[in-house]
Structure 1
Amino acid sequence: MRIRVLSFILLLFCNSLWAAAKIEHWQTAQGSRVYYVQTEGLPMVDIHVVFDAGSARDFKQFGISSLTASLLDTGAGKWNADEIAKRLESVGAQFSAASSTDLATLSLRTLTEPALFSKALDTMQVILTDPLFNKADVSRDQKRTLAMLKQTEESPGDLAGIAFSNALYGDHPYAHPTEGIIKTVAALTPKDLKAFYKKYYVAANAIVVIVGDVSKQQAEQTAEKLLTGLPVGQKPDALPDVVMPTKATEQHIEFPSSQTHVLVGLPGNYRKDPDYFPLYVGNHILGGSGLVSKLFDEIREKRGLAYSASSSFSPLLKQGPFTIGLQTRNDQTPQALEVLNKTLNDFISNGPTPAELTAAKQNIVGGFAMRFDTNKELANYVAMIGFYDLPLDYLDTFQKNIENVTIAEITDAFKRRINPQLLQTVTVGQATTKSAK
């Protein structure tokens, strides 16, 4: 009884958090979208400025998005990297910039006391609107990136990931690593980075997210001030659609390791996919819930073929990857793959049991609110909602959408979206007599 009461209290608490995340939305004078959530209790604010400027916009210059983002705070306006760091440190603010597959994000966390907030915001505005891309700074970060890329050649897991993306996406912009490859990164110049910045870091391509203890009026002023100095520009063209593989493939990369890295999958779903919630819940049961998933039970618990086995959907603007992954002893690779494929095929054919569905829903709903129980985490979710143009009540309706998922919907979605005859399989490890092709 005490457990049921506690669960009920936690559920009420979660619902109150969702209801509290009231997202307000408007556009700046330059046409940038703004998403704002007022929170109280801590005199802090988290600010994100998001651009459709991720690695999918690299085209042939693989890695240019990532290198551009990493260099923004190495010199801007009249300040060098040390001076920027000192300005932020003097007011207790934290700044970062990074690029992922779809987007580039500049983030600021600062106190809301007027003098501290003003200095932090001024600093971010200069970083955003007047980065220098000095030759020396570019050369230093370029060398650092190249050293990191060189290390990936010594990592079977990284090699597997690169080969897997290429197998899934071919010539699509999602195929290459976010950080690029050695050949393309080595060829980048300050002129290239400035051109990329000028094309994509424009007001028409910007989304501003503000979450914290500031009024709406302050949020409006903050958004306008941040983007002052950015040209209006224009949004980039839509990304091409993902083309599904036409047949299954198996690729083995020889590597002197005692374990073989295994990746199996297909292009999966996208953020606004009508099958998003059935696939989300179904994957939680299949391999997304860790120690209690079907893949973990069949591969680890029953047969001891791997330390862990999991699956995931990674939705993007277009179809992100559906991935099943594990590591196994080299000589066990064929057996592990056999069990993996059988488990997936059985799940596609039969779907989950009622008990599995109930447990999955309770687990997902019960833990969801804890994913955004800080301003920073909430800001990340709001940025996702804004960038992918999801409903503003996404967080409020999440529980209902999960609870409405049925076994029939899961089975139907997996049958339509995951075709075992098209699976792409990549293994990286040392082939043995039994596992060599």
Structure 2
Amino acid sequence: MITRLRTLLLALTALTAGPAVAQPEIQQWQTDNGADVLYVHAPELPMVDLQVTFAAGSARDGGKPGLAALTNGLLEAGAGERGEEAIADDLAASGAELSTSAERDRASVHLRSLADPERLDPALAILADVLARPTFPEEAFERERRRALVGLRQAKQDPGEVADRAFHRALYGDHPYAHPTSGTEESVEGLARTDVATFHDRYYVAANADVAIVGDVDRERAAELAEAAVAELPDGEAAPPLPEVADLEEAEQVAKDFPSAQTHLLIGQPGMRRGDPDYWPLLVGNHILGGSGFGSRIMEAVREERGLAYSAYSHFRPLGRRGPFIIGLQTANANAEEAEELARELLADFVEEGPSEDELEAAKANLVGSFPLRINTNSDLLGYLAMIGFYDLPTDYLDRFTDRVEAVTVEDIRDAFRRRVDPDRLVTVTVGGDE
């Protein structure tokens, strides 16, 4: 079946192949107070997407897990002269949308608006206030803190969440990536409003910010938007570099009983960072191993041949420092040992032998053929711009994506996996087994 799928994929790619699609031109500069800006002109829709990203993710919690997420989530609870309801009403009146998000490395605020200045300028003024002058009302702080606690208690009832948290603790030890973005019950219970205000003052500053803009505005107007968004931010200082992630010294097995009919299995080790010199062979190699759904070795062996799981996968999650490499699946409790053994065998074989030429060509066809769909919308493109700016990647990243994928060889993949993945030093987490 896998051979037929790959043959079909290659045939479809050949039929649909045409002239190379020109990638969007990325322009880059800095605001007057030092924030980096990346911009792409996208006139197809009369819209503008603007995102400001800070090195203010959970890795900056500083011994208070959950602080970064709580701070980011409270930005819209009041800012400047507006209360929470006024912010919502004024955004609705302008037809704009404002959203926030916090991850391990970064926290961001995203504004989407019509490009018409009568709509965009009022929305931009709200964004500027939210970034620079949040008021963090005590009532809103307590409400969101309680909501976070409810979420953390609910997470204890989700075997997938339990497995993910145990996996990161085992993988990262005392590194800032070890704790969950949402924190722990104990840490969130201990947070105070002053913690939030202090965190904002330190990390929501221009020197720690990146601005990404995609939309129906020219370069001059984009520069005005970027300045207006961050002009009120203090210059401040960039966040210091995070510590390096240490290699695992030995294999570790973590087993947690959980009342479920299925066992959640995670296997992995520290993987790669953004801008990693081995990024491209690891990306293409993992696509073959477990990153391409039904076209991958793991899915074929675990689901199609053995029927052990509905879904099985592997992926690298690159971060500012080495993010995790993960193999994951869910299987019936009775099949957990067999599934774990099979996953280990598949990984060891791939590290030792690498892919075949046919597998490599199919993976390249899939990655190259699907790439235009990854930047098909302004939101998709904005996500790439924010990533490129935050992780200081070259601005030709999108232009050269296809060439870099096409340049990967079987030997490149074999060499990278042998150096970077050690099948004898893996963290293995199982959650389940107690129906």
User: What does 1:62-73 correspond to in 2, within 5 Å?
Assistant: 62-73=65-76
Amino acid at match of 1:421: D
In the TM superposition, structure 1's runs of 4+ consecutive aligned residues that sit over 3 Å from their partners are: 3-13
**In the alignment, which of 284, 289, 296 is matched to residue 286 of structure 1?**
289
**In the alignment, which of 302, 305, 317 is matched to residue 302 of structure 1?**
305
Shift of 1:129: 1.0
Q: Distance in 1 between matches of 2:371 and 2:149?
A: 38
Q: Would you say 1:128 and 2:141 are equivalent positions? A: no
Is contact 2:33-2:231 (8 Å) kept? Answer: no
Amino acid at match of 2:416: A
Q: Distance in 1 between matches of 2:422 and 2:25?
A: 39
**In the alignment, which of 383, 388, 402 is matched to residue 385 of structure 1?**
388
Q: Distance in 2 between matches of 1:160 and 1:395?
A: 34
Q: Report what 1:83 is aligned to.
A: 86
Q: Distance in 2 between matches of 1:371 and 1:232?
A: 34
Is contact 1:314-1:321 (8 Å) kept? Answer: yes
Identity of aligned residues (%): 46
SS for the counterpart of 1:180 is coil
User: What does 1:204-353 correspond to in 2, within 5 Å?
Assistant: 204-353=207-356
Q: Deviations 1:151-196 (Å, cap 9, x if unpaired)? A: 0111111100000001110000000101111111111111000000
SS for the counterpart of 2:39 is strand
Q: Deviations 1:289-333 (Å, cap 9, x if unpaired)? A: 001210111111111111111000000000000000001111111
Q: Would you say 1:372 and 2:375 are equivalent positions? A: yes
Q: Distance in 2 between matches of 1:41 and 1:98?
A: 27
User: What does 1:189-208 correspond to in 2, within 5 Å?
Assistant: 189-208=192-211
Q: Distance in 1 between matches of 2:207 and 2:279?
A: 28
Q: Which consecutive unaligned segments of at least 5 residues does structure 2 have?
A: 1-8
SS for the counterpart of 2:178 is coil
Amino acid at match of 1:424: V
Shift of 1:147: 0.2
Q: Distance in 2 between matches of 1:234 and 1:224?
A: 18
Q: Distance in 2 between matches of 1:430 and 1:5?
A: 44
Q: Report what 1:183 is aligned to.
A: 186
Shift of 1:231: 0.7
Amino acid at match of 1:411: R
**In the alignment, which of 32, 44, 47 is matched to residue 44 of structure 1?**
47
Amino acid at match of 2:166: A
Q: Distance in 1 between matches of 2:172 and 2:293?
A: 27
TM-score (norm. length: structure 2): 0.96
Shift of 1:58: 0.6
Q: Deviations 1:65-88 (Å, cap 9, x if unpaired)? A: 101010000111111111111111
User: What does 1:3-152 correspond to in 2, within 5 Å?
Assistant: 7=13, 10-12=16-18, 15-18=20-23, 21-152=24-155
Amino acid at match of 2:339: A
Q: Sort the Cα spacing of 1:5 and 1:414 in 2 relative to 1 into closer, same or farther, 3 A.
A: closer
Q: Distance in 2 between matches of 1:4 and 1:402?
A: 15
Shift of 1:5: 10
Is contact 1:17-1:369 (8 Å) kept? Answer: no
Shift of 1:9: 7.8
Q: Distance in 2 between matches of 1:324 and 1:344?
A: 9
Amino acid at match of 1:120: A
In the alignment of these two chains, the number of paired residues is 427
Q: Distance in 1 between matches of 2:162 and 2:141?
A: 26
Is contact 1:40-1:212 (8 Å) kept? Answer: yes
Shift of 1:223: 1.1
**In the alignment, which of 405, 413, 418 is matched to residue 415 of structure 1?**
418
Q: Distance in 1 between matches of 2:414 and 2:12?
A: 33
Is contact 1:306-1:328 (8 Å) kept? Answer: yes
TM-score (norm. length: structure 1): 0.95
Is contact 2:52-2:209 (8 Å) kept? Answer: yes
SS for the counterpart of 2:220 is helix
Q: Sort the Cα spacing of 1:11 and 1:58 in 2 relative to 1 into closer, same or farther, 3 A.
A: farther
SS for the counterpart of 1:378 is helix
Q: Distance in 2 between matches of 1:35 and 1:98?
A: 19
Q: Distance in 2 between matches of 1:425 and 1:198?
A: 39
Shift of 1:123: 1.1
Q: Distance in 1 between matches of 2:298 and 2:325?
A: 14
Q: Sort the Cα spacing of 1:191 and 1:4 in 2 relative to 1 into closer, same or farther, 3 A.
A: closer
Q: Report what 1:435 is aligned to.
A: none
Is contact 1:264-1:424 (8 Å) kept? Answer: yes
Is contact 1:285-1:356 (8 Å) kept? Answer: yes
SS for the counterpart of 1:422 is coil
Q: Distance in 1 between matches of 2:248 and 2:219?
A: 48
SS for the counterpart of 2:98 is strand
SS for the counterpart of 2:177 is coil
Q: Distance in 2 between matches of 1:275 and 1:60?
A: 32
Shift of 1:369: 1.2
Q: Distance in 1 between matches of 2:22 and 2:48?
A: 18
Question: Which piece of structure 1 moves more, 212-221 or 316-325?
Answer: 212-221
Is contact 2:13-2:365 (8 Å) kept? Answer: no
Q: Distance in 1 between matches of 2:305 and 2:388?
A: 40
SS for the counterpart of 1:280 is helix
Is contact 1:263-1:324 (8 Å) kept? Answer: yes
